Amino acid sequence: MRARAPFGFAVETESARDDLLKSAQPTARKRETLAEKSIRAHALAARLAGLYGDVECPLIHRNTFELLIAVMLSAQCTDAAVNKVTPALFARYPDPAALANASISDIESLIRTLGLFRAKAKSLKRCAEQLIQDFAGAVPSAMDDLTRLAGVGRKTANVIRGHAFAIPGIAVDTHCRRLARRLGLTRQQDPAKIERDLARILAPPQWTGFSHRLIIHGRRVCYARKPNCAACTLSALCPSKS
């Protein structure tokens, strides 16, 4: 009887699946098939889930509007830096209508400790105006609608969809990009293409958690300059281990 591999690839038996996983151990000599890569990706996802469990959004927020603003502010900034400025920002401008009517200079004064604060202030105001004009003041859930908003790209949209609407999405930031490449799950550089490659080998229920856990692993173990392979739980499944 045929068993189903995690993402729809047929495997004859459980032992055949084990053999396939063994054969999917990355080597420099052998090129992985898509089915092998999918099985390895699910094994990586299981290890990451065991390591980091449920992922909470580290950005302080009370509703979807505040989450959207906080994620927009987090571009090229630490979450801790964003969490320092958002309480005052949200107290002064608690909803899209208030933010749409704010002056750019006042928004700038509230977020000036963050990188790119001038561009971010403009985007926040314009985004709030769009929410009022096009979405009756609510944050939309569709990818096309979200990415029409000023300052919102696919990464931000996927974070919002995953955390606020429980819609599977792969958020590709610098950590996710680096790890997906080191783990041999993609050869692409472009975030949208990396997202597409990961979506092909992982089941949708894995998307949100996998990308967020990959980000955590990049911050804690698989550093950009010197990955700590000796302490890495993923090393047996990683073609880049040193």
Rule CB under 6 A: say whether 229 interacts with ligand SF4. yes
Q: What CA–CA distance (Å, rounded) separates 206 from 37?
A: 15
Give min distance, CB of 36 to ligand SF4, in A.
Answer: 17
The 10 Å Cβ neighbour count of residue 173 is: 20
CA 226, CA 220: separation in Å to the nearest integer?
Answer: 11
Range in contact with ligand SF4 (rule: CB under 6 A) among 47-55, 131-139, 149-157, 232-240: 232-240
122 is catalytic: no
- Helix residue spans in 93-201 (DSSP H): 96-100, 104-111, 117-135, 143-148, 154-165, 174-182, 191-201
Burial profile 76-104: b = 16 or more Cβ within 10 angstroms, e = fewer:
ebeeeebbebbeebbeebeebeebbebee
Q: Among the residues of the chain, which ranges form H helices? A: 14-23, 34-52, 64-73, 79-92, 96-100, 104-111, 117-135, 143-148, 154-165, 174-182, 191-201, 204-220
CB 212, CB 224: distance < 8 Å: no
Q: Quick one: which segment of 4-12, 166-174, 177-185, 198-206 binds ligand SF4 (CB under 6 A)?
A: 177-185
Catalytic residue among 37, 120, 173, 197: 173
User: Does residue 234 belong to the site contacting ligand SF4 (CB under 6 A)?
Assistant: yes
Q: Confirm or reject binding of residue 185 to ligand SF4 (CB under 6 A).
A: no
Stretch that binds ligand SF4, among 20-28, 137-145, 178-186, 200-208 (CB under 6 A): 178-186
Closer CB to ligand SF4, 141 or 188, in the complex: 188
Per the annotation, the verdict on 173 as an active-site residue is yes
Q: Does 182 bind ligand SF4 (CB under 6 A)?
A: yes
Return the DSSP state at 220.
H
CB of 220 to ligand SF4, least distance (A): 10
Instruction: Report the residue number, 73 or 238, with the smaller CB distance to ligand SF4.
Output: 238
Instruction: State the nearest-atom distance from the C-beta of 199 to ligand SF4, in Å.
Output: 20
Chain positions contacting ligand SF4, by CB under 6 A: 179, 182-183, 221-222, 227-229, 232, 234-235, 238, 240-241
